[in-house]
Amino acid sequence: MSHQTVIVLDFGGQYNQLIARRVRECGVYCEVKPYTTPLEQLRAMAPIGFIFTGGPSSVYDENAPHVDAAIFELGVPVLGICYGCQLMAHTLGGQVTAAQADTAREYGKTETYYDTSCKLFKGLPEQGVSWMSHGDYMARVPEGFALVGHTDACPNVAIADEKRGFYGVQYHPEVNHTQHGVDMIRNFLYEVCGAVGDWSMGDYKNTAIRDIRKKVGDGKVLLALSGGVDSSVAAALLAEAVGSQLTCVFVDHGLMRLNEGDEVEAAFARWDIHFVRVDAETRFLLKLAGEAEPERKRKIIGEEFIRVFEEEAKKIGRVDYLAQGTIYPDVIESGAGDAAVIKSHHNVGGLPDYVDFKEIIEPLRMLFKDEVRQLGRELGLPEYLVSRQPFPGPGLAIRIIGDITKEKADTLRQADAIYREEIARAGEDQNINQYFAVLTNTRSVGVMGDGRTYDYTLALRAVTTSDFMTADWARIPYDVLDRISTRIVNEVGGINRIVYDITSKPPATIEWE
């Protein structure tokens, strides 16, 4: 079954995949394509609409990303967001310049006024807060465009040529900070593009299974199974697609949470899959010995993972494909095209140059975390697996600041277990999307009994988020934090100070490294 398709053209902004998520939330299938995709390839996909994303460039710069102007002659509606709006204006004969201090340079939450006779704002309030992030200004809009949105500082934060179905906004409707932003995207899809809403996660599951079967044929697949949400859902999807052709390899690298290796093995023991557990703690710790730089840690772990899989594949016999539970945020944060690299993930940017498999399969690569959980439910996974706390592939290696030793890993394991136990006991696990402890490389003076100590500082991190692209620090009650702190300093050796991270994302990331 084919679906109506919207194409999101990626110009390198950090929120680009979030746009795709919003479109899918509205029941419309979409794909993200780089702006360099040939026009004929885009035309062949028969899209009902295009969305141009934001990006870090200025359209008037010599090397700024552009599109073939013929895209505006396809008779397909276009929504330009931030850089995408300015690019549309620039391409169609408008003028974009650097904003002066008093002419429309805007950042953050901004009171915005809308012309609700425009289809983009149909049925919405005439006034609301939008999330701005632009230093450029449309000094002249193209012929045929009307001004349909403004702020106190900028007269043209939204423009529209409704006859041709072209719309541009200088703010970001895809982020939660913009009031009614998703409604604006929905209006573009349904009021402008004529969407009928013919896509769901059930469709994604069926399509993914069909595509996996087509790609794999009678080949064998080796899955890197961490036991986390992503790899568990990938395992269930692959098991349904190729059954006994799948082998799941769980690499216990010695950097798991307390008792986690045994829990993972127990969870999959009753499944009809080939499950292999590899005890590789010594191997990984030797490779990581003395390494303190976080990007190097990730790349060391990424390469060692691959080498372990290759060795296990040889024991199993012929294996054609390596499967991973890579999801969209992994890809975004590791950088793609013109996007900045925030941090590389061991299963994306951390892969070595040479991998001894025919191909890598990443069936969740287009999904955000909440969509992965939804897919897991579609596949019939138990809720305790689907709702499990996120845990990075490199494990505690990136929650130990500085060099890694077995002693530090054991210390962090115990402290993290106490933290998670007390959060669950207080019922806060229902309110927090991710929480964990970080063993910092900072030591400070403390007093225990009548003696002086000089031990490590432990940082606690907890966030609330719907998509893991942005996140707010969680307001854990003081009495809960007090119990956590008291237990850790009394029960875990080597720690004499607890701090709580109250930084949101952005500017921070959720993990520390």
Q: Residue 66 is part of a domain; what is its CATH number?
A: 3.40.50.880
Report if residue 392 sits inside a domain. Answer: no
d(CA 99, CA 105): 5
Instruction: Tell me: do 343 and 222 sit in the same domain.
Output: yes
188 and 212 housed in the same domain: no
Task: State how many domains the chain has.
Answer: 3
Contact 163, 151 (CB under 8 A): no
Residue 437: alpha-carbon gap to chain centroid? 21
**Residue found under tokens 């966030």:** 463
Is residue 512 domain-resident?
A: no
Same-domain status, 271 and 251: yes
Give yes or no: residues 304 and 209 share one domain.
Answer: yes
Asked which of 386, 413, 433 is the last residue of a domain, the reply is 386
Shared-domain flag, residues 350 and 220: yes
CATH of the domain at 320: 3.40.50.620
Residues 420 and 338 in one domain: no
Alpha carbon separation from 88 to 23, 77, 156, 278, 449 (Å, rounded): 20, 12, 14, 53, 68
Residues 25 and 121 in one domain: yes
Check whether residue 226 and residue 243 sit in a common domain: yes
In a domain, 117, yes or no: yes
Q: Which residue range(s) make up the domain with 215?
A: 201-386
Residue at a domain's end among 192, 216, 232: 192
Residues 91 and 229 in one domain: no
* CB contact burial 319-328 (16+ within 10 A = b; e otherwise): bbbbbbbbbb
Residues serving a catalytic function are 82, 172, 174
Give the pLDDT of the chain (513 residues) as one tens digit per residue.
Answer: 578 999 999 998 777 878 988 999 999 998 889 999 999 999 999 999 999 999 888 888 888 999 999 999 999 999 999 999 999 999 999 988 876 655 555 566 888 999 999 999 999 999 999 887 656 778 899 999 999 999 888 888 999 999 999 999 999 999 888 999 999 999 999 999 999 999 888 888 998 999 999 999 999 998 888 778 898 899 999 999 998 899 998 888 999 899 888 888 887 777 778 889 999 999 999 999 999 998 899 899 988 988 887 788 788 888 889 898 888 767 655 544 444 443 334 443 344 444 567 888 999 987 888 889 999 999 988 887 888 777 877 889 999 999 999 999 999 999 999 999 999 999 999 899 999 999 999 999 988 766 788 999 999 999 998 777 789 999 999 999 999 999 999 999 999 999 999 999 989 999 998
Residue 243 covered by a domain: yes
Domain match, 207 and 284 both: yes
Asked if the structure places residue 348 within a domain, the reply is yes
Same domain, 119 and 137: yes
90 assigned to some structural domain? yes
Q: Do residues 153 and 118 both lie within one domain?
A: yes
Provide the CATH number for the domain around residue 484. 3.30.300.10
Contact yes or no for 280/253 (Cβ under 8 A): yes
Identify whether 506 is part of a domain. no
Among 346, 362, 386, the domain-final residue is 386
* Pairwise CA distance, residues 15 & 11, whole Å: 10
CA distance 295 to 306: 17
0.85 cut: is pTM over it?
A: no
Residue 507 located in a structural domain: no
Instruction: Please enumerate in sequence order all residues whose Cβ is within 8 A of that of 35, keeping only pairs 6 or more positions apart, or say none.
Output: 9, 10, 11, 65, 66, 67, 337
Coil, strand or helix: which one is 361? strand
